């Protein structure tokens, strides 16, 4: 085998279309549907050389995005050197897979930014909510509590790294839902 096997190398991904090139795609311009590049109005699939081994990969780009939404292995052709060509059926499967991956990623991000827990309070069930606003320069978070009817009981600005778990929420409710002094401490 060749020298350098086992070392991780970057996969070279052909660049997606520029904004100007996308604008040039009008109803008069057909979409690309070639053995190594296949596209529709929302997605572009590009078969790329996998530099980590002798195989191939396919990168799925959502229109307007520079980074691929998903990169996965691609099948070798019959000659065992070149990739299997893309076709309509393979593209439909790739679009479905990439779309599901993007949806799951968005759902996971939403769940991490908007958390809720229910605990017992002095007057019944209390639902605590932590809503994080991600921002590269000034992230923030809001801790709030609602009763069983959805009425707001308390609301405070907290650090985005606030420890939000059953123990800290119960301690907060037991302390009268006062403004936390520091992240996760009452």
Q: Are 126 and 147 in contact (CB under 8 A)?
A: yes
At 58 the three-state DSSP class reads strand
The β-bridge relationship of strands 43-49 and 37-39 is antiparallel
State phi, psi for 111 to the nearest 5 degrees.
Answer: -65, -35
Distance of CA 103 to the CA centre of its chain: 7
- The distance from CA 13 to its chain's CA centroid, rounded to whole angstroms, is 20
What are 37-63's pLDDT values in tens digits?
Answer: 999 999 999 999 887 777 899 999 998
pTM of the model: 0.63
Residue 88 structure tokens? 């309509």
pLDDT, position 155: 96
Residue 186: its pLDDT value, please?
47
What is the tens place of the pLDDT at every residue in 80-113?
Answer: 888 999 999 999 999 999 999 999 999 999 999 9
Q: What's the pLDDT tens digit per position in 135-166?
A: 888 999 999 999 999 999 999 999 998 999 99
R_g over Cα of the chain: 25
Contacts for 16 with CB less than 8 Å, ≥ 6 apart: 44, 61, 65, 66
pLDDT band of 13, cuts 50, 70, 90: low
């Amino acid at each position: 085998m060749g020298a350098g096997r086992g070392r991780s190398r970057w996969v070279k991904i052909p660049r997606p279309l520029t904004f100007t090139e996308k604008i040039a795609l009008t109803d008069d311009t057909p979409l690309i549907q070639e053995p190594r590049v296949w596209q529709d109005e929302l997605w572009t699939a590009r078969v790329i050389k996998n530099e980590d081994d002798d195989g191939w990969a396919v990168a799925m780009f959502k229109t307007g995005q520079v980074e691929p939404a998903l990169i996965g292995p691609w099948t070798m052709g019959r000659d065992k050197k070149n990739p299997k060509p893309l076709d309509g059926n393979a593209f439909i499967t790739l679009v479905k897979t990439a779309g599901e991956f993007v949806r799951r990623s968005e759902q996971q991000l939403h769940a991490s930014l908007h958390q809720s827990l229910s605990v017992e309070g002095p007057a019944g069930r209390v639902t605590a909510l932590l809503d994080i606003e991600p921002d590269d320069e000034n992230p923030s978070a809001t801790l709030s509590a609602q009763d069983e009817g959805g009425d707001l009981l308390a609301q405070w600005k907290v650090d985005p790294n606030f420890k939000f778990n059953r123990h800290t929420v119960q301690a907060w409710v037991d302390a009268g839902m006062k403004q936390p002094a520091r992240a996760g401490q009452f």
